[in-house]
């Protein structure tokens, strides 16, 4: 009996920290999302746009105005309105778009895969080039390779992405003709591939429509490369910083003294110890592309959530604007949680 009690006592301390950490994470996420909902709710209330007139139009009668005012619950106290707003959002009701006449959730489900596809390809490009470039710059610190890598990062941070987009269209589409122009797909190929995931490259590959795949790739490669360059600047700089710290550590000097090859020292030891930090960096870069691709989508006429929110804002369609903001904010929080879970998975010390 005593052994069982001791056994339970030994198991208790290992379970309690995990439960405490899980509850803390859930509370943090709930408070963050509640704060996001509060901000979007207040934006909808302080904007100089009458929500009633936005729904019924300026030619409606006073009776129609009053009925809609009551229907929207605007006669209730602000705190009650916020409670109704939170309840609707939790049920997946983001309101109805004035511009399209459809539910905002339906509109976002239609446009978000385009942004997801663009941001994912851009992140893959940024990681594939940025990580090796940052490692090489750290290993060759002070050399011309390091100077080029730092210059690439500086230009990526300094140049406005809309300017790079216009120059890219002029050069690679207008002059050289290497890529397709604005839009997501050529007119001739629209409607050929039946959507599965909403991401054209994936759907075309699953359907075996390789001609459509090539046309879609020709449209996406330039905006994705620009977003990839934007994330590359951040990823390469952080990778270089992490590697410099590791290469100056004593264990690296010891590994070299023992006669390990430079490849083993760099990739088997130093890089292995920065993978955990890179997970967070890459996750943040990905989240930034998902929320920050608005200008790129506008320049390239990309039918994603950035263009959707911008068009809705110009049309005073606040339900669509706030709904898109909530979705992007929730995804940002979700990606941060995922990176934290991966951090704990790859680093036993974090457990």
pLDDT in tens, 23-52: 777 787 788 888 888 888 887 777 666 667
Let me know if residue 98 belongs to a domain: no
Domain identity same for 115 and 194: yes
Max avg pLDDT among 7-21, 82-96, 214-228, 320-334: 214-228
pLDDT tens-digit profile of 68-107?
A: 777 767 777 778 878 888 888 888 888 788 788 788 899 9
Let me know if residue 99 belongs to a domain: no
Residue 155 sits in a domain whose CATH number is 1.10.3720.10
Question: How many CB atoms lie under 10 A from the CB of residue 209?
Answer: 18
The CA distances from residue 69 to 56, 65, 253, in Å, are 10, 6, 72
Name the band, by pLDDT with cuts 50, 70 and 90, for residue 9. Answer: very low
- Greater confidence, 350 or 228? 228
Cβ atoms of residues 140 and 132 within 8 Å: no
pLDDT at 220: 93
Q: Where would I find the H helices in the chain?
A: 2-46, 51-56, 62-71, 78-90, 104-139, 144-158, 161-168, 200-207, 210-247, 250-257, 262-263, 275-292, 294-299, 305-314, 318-346
Domain identity same for 23 and 56: yes
Domain identity same for 151 and 27: no
The DSSP code for 96 is: B
pLDDT at 102: 85
pLDDT tens-digit profile of 172-223?
A: 998 888 988 888 888 888 888 888 888 999 999 998 889 999 999 999 999 9
> In the predicted model, is pLDDT for residue 53 greater than 70?
no
pLDDT at 15: 59
Let me know if residue 197 belongs to a domain: yes
Let me know if residue 31 belongs to a domain: yes
pTM of structure: 0.81
CA Rg, the chain, in Å?
25
DSSP 175-219: IS--S--SSSS-GGGTTSSPPSSS-HHHHHHHHT-HHHHHHHHHH
Overall domain count for the chain: 2
> In the predicted model, is pLDDT for residue 347 greater than 70?
no
Exposure letters 125-152 (e unless 16+ CB within 10 A, then b):
bbbebbbebbbbbbbeeeeeebeebeeb
Q: If DSSP codes are grouped into helix, strand and coil, which group holds residue 103?
A: strand
Helix (H) or strand (E) holding 271: none
> In the predicted model, is pLDDT for residue 348 greater than 90?
no
Torsion of CA 252, 257, 260, 266, to 10 degrees: 20
Q: Which of 26, 56, 90 is the last residue of a domain?
A: 90
Domain identity same for 83 and 116: no
pLDDT at 222: 93
Average pLDDT along the chain? 82
Let me know if residue 286 belongs to a domain: yes
Let me know if residue 12 belongs to a domain: yes
Let me know if residue 68 belongs to a domain: yes
Q: Which domain holds residue 81?
A: 2-90
């Amino acid at each position: 009996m005593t052994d069982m009690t001791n056994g339970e006592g030994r198991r208790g301390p290992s379970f309690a920290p995990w439960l405490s950490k899980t509850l803390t994470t859930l509370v943090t996420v709930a408070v963050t999302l509640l704060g996001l909902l509060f901000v979007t709710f207040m934006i909808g209330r302080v904007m100089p746009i009458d929500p009633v007139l936005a729904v019924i139009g300026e030619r409606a009668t006073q009776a129609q105005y009053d009925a809609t005012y009551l229907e929207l619950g605007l006669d209730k106290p602000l705190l009650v309105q916020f409670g109704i707003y939170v309840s609707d959002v939790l049920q997946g009701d983001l309101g109805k778009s004035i511009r399209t006449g459809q539910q905002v959730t339906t509109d976002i489900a239609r446009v978000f895969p385009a942004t997801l596809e663009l941001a994912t390809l851009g992140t893959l490009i940024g990681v594939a080039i940025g990580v090796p470039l940052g490692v090489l710059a750290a290993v060759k610190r002070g050399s011309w390779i390091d100077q080029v890598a730092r210059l690439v990062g500086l230009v990526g941070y300094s140049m406005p992405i809309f300017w790079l987009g216009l120059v890219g269209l002029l050069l690679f589409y207008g002059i050289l003709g290497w890529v397709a122009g604005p839009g997501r797909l050529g007119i001739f190929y629209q409607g050929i591939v039946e959507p599965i995931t909403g991401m054209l490259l994936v759907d075309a590959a699953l359907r075996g429509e390789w001609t459509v795949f090539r046309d879609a790739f020709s449209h996406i490669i330039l905006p994705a490369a620009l977003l990839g360059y934007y994330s590359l600047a951040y990823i390469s700089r952080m990778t270089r910083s992490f590697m410099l710290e590791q290469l100056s550590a004593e264990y690296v000097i010891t590994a070299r003294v023992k006669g390990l090859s430079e490849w083993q020292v760099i990739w088997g030891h130093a890089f292995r110890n920065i993978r955990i930090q890179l997970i967070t960096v890459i996750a943040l870069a990905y989240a930034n592309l998902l929320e920050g691709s608005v200008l790129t989508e506008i320049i390239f006429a990309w039918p994603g959530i950035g263009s959707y929110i911008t068009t809705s804002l110009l049309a005073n369609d606040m339900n669509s604007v706030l709904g898109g903001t909530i979705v992007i904010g929730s995804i940002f929080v979700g990606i941060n949680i995922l990176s934290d879970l991966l951090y704990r998975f790859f680093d036993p010390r974090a457990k």
